[in-house]
């Protein structure tokens, strides 16, 4: 069979349907809309079923820890009466060392249930290790496809570390250069092997994270007798935030504020060969967080189940130097050495806690394992080799790709807000442009209002500005 790039792209929908086992068209209606809740319900599992599935492979029931020393430091820097108590959900306790074991447990279980002989995932992050770990437990073959190198063969130390972890679990790892070949190779492998697409963005993958949000709420109530005031989620493709928020809702923790946090990599293009190695964070950054928020369906399935604008109340950015600082602070003040992704939301939480009252609480909802390539020493050394200046100063002056500024004092760590209304407007524009429409139905209007939590008045104003006719 012809396996050229053009042929594979033309057969994308056919290959995806076969490899995921979902006919997404049955959920679609109107020109833009689809029934999100029906998709989640009919292709997912109940919360109790997910807990049982995850429990069989030792996933979940991770500890909720209070960071008393970081709370003391935050209060020392805050105004009188300010400084919320900081907690952290230690997801590094999962078998593969991150919350993504929850997603992978559901996806791999589902693959085996449907009779697939193996699973494939396209990921440079912790999800690859999670899928490989779960596949090993359930006796399935596993292939992980990574975007690892630039055109000169230089690889990100964090991605290389994750490849090592995947291979340790027996997975075959394909390491590719940055660019369009990743998705092409991914499609080709799915087609040739007939394996299951263990995508990050399927309903059962996202639903797997619901157990995290639910568990967090239950543990917090047991400890404190109430729900947390704020939960901070590191945001990349949106599944972490989406699943956690849905789990909190299922626990009826509806008053808890959901904050997304990403590393600010403004100015760097994730698909650029020259920019690829100028970043020191391979996930949890704006290069994923903003594009996936404003157009979730850019993922490797027709309809992504990760839709962060449905749930996010506030979105903040922190700089690379601030996250590195908090990584060291967590290790040296709290005795927890953890990887960079969860420490993105920790840096944000440390800043946000200082805005909040002393009797309030803020929870960082995940940690991840660390290793040689994830360690800040490896990351900073790699940055310097790639021409990035590293020094101590004020992180507000940091320019991604040019320098990394470690704070000279913890008071300089500041979470900076993104205007969510601008993200909503970008999402609405993408709905129009990606679907190539000039008119919109009332059903589509209702869908957009739900999908990005925009008011009808604001949506109609934007549609008028875009000269879209309502039919």
314 with 399, same domain?
Answer: yes
Last residue of a domain, one of 383, 401, 417: 417
Give domain status of residue 9, yes or no.
Answer: no
Q: Residue 1's pLDDT is what? A: 65
Last residue of a domain, one of 417, 436, 451: 417
Give domain status of residue 20, yes or no.
Answer: no
Q: Are 127 and 104 in contact (CB under 8 A)?
A: yes
In terms of DSSP H, where are the helices of 354-416?
Answer: 376-385
Percent of the chain with pLDDT over 90: 87
Q: What burial class does residue 82 get, using C-beta atoms within 10 Å of its C-beta: 0-12 exposed, 13-18 middle, 19+ buried?
A: middle
Last residue of a domain, one of 381, 400, 417: 417
Taking 90 as the threshold, does the pLDDT of residue 125 lie above it?
no
Q: Compute CA 276 distance to the chain's CA centroid, rounded to the nearest angstrom.
A: 19
- What's the sign of the alpha-carbon dihedral 386, 387, 390, 394? negative
297 with 393, same domain?
Answer: yes
313 with 410, same domain?
Answer: yes
Give domain status of residue 168, yes or no.
Answer: no
Domain count for the chain? 2
Structure confidence at residue 182 as a pLDDT band (50, 70, 90)? confident
Taking 80 as the threshold, does the pLDDT of residue 40 lie above it?
yes
Taking 80 as the threshold, does the pLDDT of residue 104 lie above it?
yes
Taking 90 as the threshold, does the pLDDT of residue 31 lie above it?
no
293 with 365, same domain?
Answer: yes
Taking 70 as the threshold, does the pLDDT of residue 37 lie above it?
yes
Structure confidence at residue 106 as a pLDDT band (50, 70, 90)? very high
436 with 362, same domain?
Answer: no
Distance CA 168, CA 296 (A): 32
Q: Residue 181's pLDDT is what? A: 85
* Tens-place pLDDT, residues 53-73: 999 999 999 999 999 999 999
Average pLDDT over residues 222-242: 97
Taking 70 as the threshold, does the pLDDT of residue 221 lie above it?
yes
Q: Residue 213's pLDDT is what? A: 98
Q: Residue 356's pLDDT is what? A: 98
* Tens-place pLDDT, residues 360-375: 999 999 999 999 899 9
Structure confidence at residue 175 as a pLDDT band (50, 70, 90)? very high
* Tens-place pLDDT, residues 325-338: 999 999 999 999 99
Residue from 9, 209, 201, 266 nearest 89 by CA: 209
Distance CA 138, CA 204 (A): 17
Structure pTM? Answer: 0.96
Distance CA 108, CA 124 (A): 18
Q: Residue 178's pLDDT is what? A: 87
Average pLDDT over residues 266-283: 89
Q: Are 197 and 12 in contact (CB under 8 A)?
A: no
375 with 460, same domain?
Answer: no
373 with 454, same domain?
Answer: no
Q: Residue 416's pLDDT is what? A: 98
372 with 427, same domain?
Answer: no
CB atoms closer than 10 angstroms to residue 353? 29
Radius of gyration in angstroms for the set of CA atoms belonging to the chain, rounded to a whole number = 21
Give domain status of residue 202, yes or no.
Answer: no
Residues spanned by the domain of 411: 56-95+207-417
465 with 316, same domain?
Answer: no
Q: Residue 84's pLDDT is what? A: 98
Give domain status of residue 437, yes or no.
Answer: yes
Alpha-carbon distances of 52 from 48, 49, 190, 239, rounded to whole Å: 6, 5, 29, 21
Q: List all residues 6 or more positions away from 412 whose beta carbon is below 8 Å from its beta carbon.
A: 322, 394, 395, 396
Taking 70 as the threshold, does the pLDDT of residue 405 lie above it?
yes
Q: Are 232 and 363 in contact (CB under 8 A)?
A: yes
């Amino acid at each position: 069979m012809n396996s050229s790039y053009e042929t594979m792209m033309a057969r994308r929908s056919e290959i995806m349907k076969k490899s995921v086992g979902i006919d997404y068209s049955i959920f679609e209606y109107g020109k833009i809309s689809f029934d999100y809740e029906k998709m989640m319900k009919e292709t997912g599992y109940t919360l109790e079923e997910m807990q049982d599935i995850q429990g069989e492979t030792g996933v979940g029931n991770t500890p909720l820890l209070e960071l008393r020393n970081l709370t003391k430091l935050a209060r020392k820097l805050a105004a009188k009466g300010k400084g919320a108590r900081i907690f952290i959900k230690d997801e590094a306790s999962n078998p593969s060392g991150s919350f993504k074991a929850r997603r992978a447990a559901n996806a791999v279980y589902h693959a085996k249930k449907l009779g697939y002989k193996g699973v494939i995932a396209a990921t440079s992050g912790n999800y690859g290790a999670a899928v490989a770990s779960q596949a090993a437990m359930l006796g399935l073959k596993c292939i992980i496809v990574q975007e690892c190198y630039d055109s000169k063969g230089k690889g990100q130390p964090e991605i290389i570390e994750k490849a090592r972890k995947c291979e340790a679990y027996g997975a075959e790892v394909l390491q590719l250069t940055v660019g369009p070949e990743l998705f092409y190779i991914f499609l080709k492998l799915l087609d040739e092997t007939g394996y299951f697409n263990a995508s990050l963005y399927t309903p059962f993958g996202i639903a797997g994270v619901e157990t995290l949000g639910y568990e967090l709420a239950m543990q917090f109530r047991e400890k404190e007798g109430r729900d947390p005031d704020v939960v901070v989620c590191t945001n990349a493709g949106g599944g972490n935030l989406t699943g956690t928020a849905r789990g909190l809702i299922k626990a009826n923790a509806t008053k808890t504020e959901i904050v997304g946090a990403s590393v600010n990599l403004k100015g760097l293009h994730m698909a650029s060969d020259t920019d690829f190695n100028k970043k020191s964070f391979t996930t949890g950054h704006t290069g994923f967080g903003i594009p996936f928020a404003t157009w979730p369906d850019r993922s490797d399935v027709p309809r992504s189940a990760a839709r962060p604008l449905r749930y996010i109340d506030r979105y903040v950015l922190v700089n690379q130097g601030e996250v590195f600082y908090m990584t060291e602070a967590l290790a040296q003040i709290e005795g927890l050495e953890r990887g960079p992704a969860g420490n993105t939301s920790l840096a944000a939480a440390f800043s946000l806690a200082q805005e909040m009252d002393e009797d309030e609480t803020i929870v960082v909802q995940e940690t991840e394992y660390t290793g040689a390539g994830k360690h800040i020493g490896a990351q900073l050394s790699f940055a310097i080799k790639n021409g990035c200046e590293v020094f101590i100063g004020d992180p507000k002056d940091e320019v991604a790709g040019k320098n990394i500024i470690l704070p000279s004092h913890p008071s300089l760590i500041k979470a900076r807000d993104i205007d969510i209304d601008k993200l909503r407007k970008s999402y609405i524009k993408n709905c129009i442009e990606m679907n190539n429409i000039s008119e919109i139905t009332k059903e589509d209007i209702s869908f957009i209002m739900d999908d990005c939590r925009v008011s009808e008045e604001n949506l109609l104003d934007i549609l008028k500005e875009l000269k879209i006719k309502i039919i």
